[in-house]
Structure 1
Amino acid sequence: MITAACLIIALLVWPGLPEKIPIQWNGGEISSAVSRIFIFAYPLVCIVMRILLRPYLQKKLQRYIWMYNDLISDYLINFSCFVVLSVEIFTVLYVHGIVKYVTTLLMVDSAVFFGLLLLGMYKLVNRK
């Protein structure tokens, strides 16, 4: 669903984006910009992570963690894609002058997923 959201957002905002969109910021100011076609890199990154990185993580985790390696790799990929989605949304909001700093958004992402991790661990431990 996160990957689909990335793609849907890219498709919806494409017509309203300027020719150049920011990809790097320094102190709230743009330090690097690219063609607006880059908006489609966000969903592409999620797809690549799901297809290539997830199986790699599962194999690596299987070597060191004999249980829950699928759950852990799914959690890590979902978290990474959620961060990508957040940065995509931040880019769109920044271009339209709605927000200026990405750090707050990423801290909220981290807090949400840390909470989900704790909740998931609690449910695993208390499973009957």
Structure 2
Amino acid sequence: MIEYEELRNDIDRYLMERFKYRKSLVSLTVDNIIATRRNSRVDLYLRIRKVESRFPPDCLIIARLGFNKERIGHGMHFLRFLTEVARKYGFNHIGIECANAKSSAFAKKLVFYSIDGENYAITAISLMSYFSIN
């Protein structure tokens, strides 16, 4: 759990800066899940997986991501940030778990591949290329 505390801090700092929060929003559970406390602007539930499961190994899995204001770029901005974080901490994949219609369309737009029709994944390298991150 301690090894992911820096990752939690990076995500917390990002959300505090992006959404102008003064207090910490993000917690890390004992089973390596990063989640935000209930608040009005952002809802995040991110699984950290190093071993292969339904998703490839070394994967940051977005289980839930929602913003109070939609379609203004928060999702794309967060995914770009998450791609940089994945690279920094040695994760090779980013996944979207149990995608609804909106998140499926988002995944397809960014060329995620479908694992089983409702779960999607992409290599961090592919996203870095999409966002032109060096």
If asked which structure has higher relative contact order (CA below 8 Å, sep 6+), I would say 1
Structure possessing the higher radius of gyration over alpha carbons = 1
Which structure is higher in strand share?
2
Q: How high is the TM-score relative to the length of structure 2? A: 0.28
